[in-house]
């Protein structure tokens, strides 16, 4: 156990050194914030029928998130981060915040489970995480140090699925699905090891998909089939499949690998390092002025 801890620490230090070569460390402390999950918008007929039945609109759920920003006045581009089905760990949120804020982005890591009393959603139905992401988007757009026209979305595993769903034709805010301004939307999305079978035939957001060749939870073959199915239609999509990599390949704590819900999770330094550089370049290209 002690040896594993030392190896994990050395891996984290090595990765931090690599990342530090191309982003500055100058961030403020994270802040716990709350915001409302975006509610589904009822059509006029649905609203009338609900009133006739004496039903009242369901109040939006309050969601927690962890906000971090660079040490300057801005306005900055921003990133909404969505965790996987196991929840938002402290290590993950701090790792992501340090990375993104160091690149000059405001970072909001959404915790979809705490206020709902959910421990995991790997074996149970997923809550309204699309509403959570859009609620976070709306919250960020009102902050004086955020540029509302430059907000991106980064999701891991189940969070990556949500990113693909939000970017799919027919489910974005402009379609009138959620109760947020119709001119407000994400500008780009990054999905780490998502289940690509949940993506629509066309995406409306420029998207980067990063997945391991040996992932037995989110199959790389499904993402490759998705790329063939979309046949270049819609917004540009880049898919990178990392040879020999498994699910959670970017999580340093999994350097020895482990089983979770019957699936193998394992850190891969090469894949993790490459994915950080690729994501950096993608976000820079999509969220620059």
Per-residue pLDDT, averaged over 124-137, amounts to 93
> 117: exposed, middle or buried (C-beta count within 10 Å: 0-12, 13-18, 19+)?
exposed
pLDDT digits (tens, 9 = 90+) for 16-70: 444 444 444 444 578 999 999 998 765 545 445 545 655 445 567 999 999 999 9
For residue 131, give the nearest of 194, 177, 76, 84 by alpha carbon: 177
Start-end of H helices in 190-268: 220-230
pLDDT digits (tens, 9 = 90+) for 55-89: 445 567 999 999 999 998 889 999 999 999 999 99
Q: Is the separation of the CB atoms in 161 and 198 below 8 Å?
A: yes
For residue 217, give the nearest of 255, 273, 257, 261 by alpha carbon: 261
Provide the 3-class DSSP secondary structure of residue 37.
coil
The pLDDT-based confidence of 138 (bands split at 50, 70, 90) is: very high
Q: How far apart are the first and last CA of the chain?
A: 48
Rounded CA gap, 150 and 90, in Å? 26
The pLDDT-based confidence of 236 (bands split at 50, 70, 90) is: very high
Domains of the chain by start residue, with CATH: 2-287 (3.40.50.1820)
Structure tokens at 207: 């998207």
For residue 226, give the nearest of 189, 197, 206 by alpha carbon: 197
Lowest mean pLDDT across 20-29, 146-155, 202-211, 272-281: 20-29
Question: What pLDDT score does 8 carry?
Answer: 47
Q: Is the pLDDT of residue 142 over 90?
A: yes
Per-residue pLDDT, averaged over 115-130, amounts to 93
pLDDT digits (tens, 9 = 90+) for 182-196: 789 999 999 999 999
For residue 86, give the nearest of 276, 217, 196, 244 by alpha carbon: 217
Does the predicted model carry a pTM greater than 0.95?
A: no
């Amino acid at each position: 156990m002690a040896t594993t801890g030392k190896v994990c620490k050395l891996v984290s230090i090595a990765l931090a050194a690599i990342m530090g070569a191309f982003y500055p460390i100058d961030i403020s402390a994270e802040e716990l914030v709350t915001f409302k999950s975006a509610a589904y918008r009822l059509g006029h007929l649905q609203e009338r029928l609900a009133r006739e039945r004496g039903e009242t609109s369901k109040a939006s759920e309050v969601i927690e998130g962890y906000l971090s920003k660079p040490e300057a006045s801005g306005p900055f581009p921003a990133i909404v981060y969505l965790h996987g089905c196991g929840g938002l760990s402290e290590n993950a949120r701090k790792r992501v915040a340090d990375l993104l804020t160091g690149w000059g982005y405001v970072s909001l890591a959404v915790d979809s489970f705490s206020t709902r009393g959910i421990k995991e959603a790997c074996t149970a139905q997923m809550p309204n995480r699309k509403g959570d992401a859009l609620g976070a988007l709306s919250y960020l757009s009102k902050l004086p140090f955020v540029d509302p026209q430059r907000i991106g979305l980064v999701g891991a595993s189940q969070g990556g699925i949500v990113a693909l769903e939000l970017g799919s034709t027919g489910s974005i805010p402009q379609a009138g699905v959620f109760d947020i301004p119709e001119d407000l939307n994400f500008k780009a999305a990054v999905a780490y090891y998502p289940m690509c079978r949940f993506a629509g035939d066309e995406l409306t957001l420029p998207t980067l998909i990063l997945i391991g060749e040996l992932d037995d939870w989110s199959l790389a073959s499904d993402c490759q089939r998705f790329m063939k199915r979309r046949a270049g239609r819609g917004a540009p999509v880049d898919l990178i499949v990392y040879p020999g990599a498994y699910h959670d390949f970017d999580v340093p704590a999994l350097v020895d690998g482990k089983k979770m819900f019957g699936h193998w999770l394992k850190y891969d330094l090469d894949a993790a390092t490459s994915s950080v550089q690729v994501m950096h370049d993608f976000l820079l290209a999509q969220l620059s002025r």
